[in-house]
Amino acid sequence: MDLFTAFWNETGTLLWHLNHDDTLPEDPLLAVALANPEYVTALDDDWYLLLGIVCDNGQGIYLVFPDTTVITQLQNLIEALNHE
């Protein structure tokens, strides 16, 4: 097992992938990540990546989502990113 896989396993870091018509999963850690994202960055083909660190041990939530998302919180993050 490589170093990165070991870190993800030890910390419980997660990767969520949402399509344009998906709703947010009911996950309290995801709610923390959305409320306090470390960063949101644009990817290729109108997709975005959000990272939220949710625990002191480095546990994080990575969320990949399209710019056509129907989720208001994510639309607001895209809007804020586009106005930086």
pLDDT in tens, 32-73: 999 999 999 999 999 999 999 988 888 899 999 999 999 999
d(CA 69, CA 84): 20
Single out the residue of 26, 11, 18 nearest to residue 47, CA to CA.
18
Q: Which residue matches tokens 């994510």?
A: 74
Q: What is the model's pTM? A: 0.85
Please name the amino acid found at residue 58. Answer: G
Q: What is the domain extent for residue 74?
A: 3-82
d(CA 66, CA 74): 9
Count up the domains in the chain and report the number. Answer: 1
Q: Confidence band (pLDDT; 50, 70, 90) for 1? A: low
Q: Rounded to 10 degrees, what is the CA torsion of 65, 23, 84, 61?
A: -60
Q: Confidence band (pLDDT; 50, 70, 90) for 84? A: confident
Per-chain mean pLDDT for the chain: 91
